[in-house]
Amino acid sequence: MTVGILALQGDFEKHAAMLERIGTPYREVRKVADLASVDALIIPGGESTTIGRLMARYGLDVAIRERAQQGMPIYGTCAGMILLAKEIAGSSQERLGLMDIAVIRNAFGSQIESFEADLPFKPFADRPVRAVFIRAPIVSRVGVEVEILSEFNGKVVAVQQGKLLATAFHPELTDDERVHRYFLSLIEQRV
């Protein structure tokens, strides 16, 4: 299996380093042809407006939606969560709209208010995950098919809808491989 990492803007290199550490083959996705050769996709953190515009410019938005409808697992971190959401508070920016969630961008404040926290993460009852929040969104509404995987101070910060996974935080900036490994397990599942 090969995991694609959307490499238009953002911290895609950190996801690549995590996949290398796990031993999972990956490919940087910059055009539709790249997407055709991967089994799953990670949408990294970065500037969601910029990533959304570039996806639309290169036709990746349509191609990603088609692959998602065919059952391709997709994991979005931070900006990736925003791009997966159906609704973005106060914004009409480009998005994939694949997850039945509403998000609020920069819900924890600006870059200087970035922080780390240990959070419970539903798939891992044994110990919390280390979460790095950088200008992170929160989920303000979840649809009936969306499962809440983690909260911070009563705010939803990780969700799953079928083979779509989204976290407001950046596990790729830690040494904890569990969230990425959990995402990889979705590739094997038949839904």
Domains along the chain?
A: 3-188 (3.40.50.880)
Over the stretch 38-65, which tens digit does the pLDDT of each residue have? Answer: 999 999 999 999 999 999 999 999 999 9
C-alpha–C-alpha distance, residues 103 and 106, integer Å: 10
Task: Go through the chain and tell me how many residues it has.
Answer: 191
Asked whether the predicted pLDDT for residue 191 surpasses 60, the reply is no
DSSP 93: -
Buried b (16+ CB within 10 A) or exposed e, 147-184: eebbebeebbbbbbbbbbbbbbbbbbbbebbbbbebbb
Q: Is the pLDDT of residue 66 over 90?
A: yes
DSSP 9: S
Candidate list 15, 78, 94, 180, residue with the active-site label? 78
Q: Given 172, 177, 180, 188, which residue is catalytic?
A: 172
Q: What is the mean pLDDT of residues 144-159?
A: 97
| Token duo for residue 90 | 């106060």
Band (143; pLDDT cuts 50, 70, 90) = very high
Question: Which of these is catalytic: 170, 177, 180, 188?
Answer: 170
Catalytic residue status for 113: no
Q: Is 180 one of the catalytic residues?
A: no
Q: What percent of the chain has pLDDT over 70?
A: 98
Average pLDDT, the chain: 94
CA separation for the pair 10, 158 (Å, rounded): 19
Distance of CA 23 to the CA centre of its chain: 20
Catalytic site residue 145? no
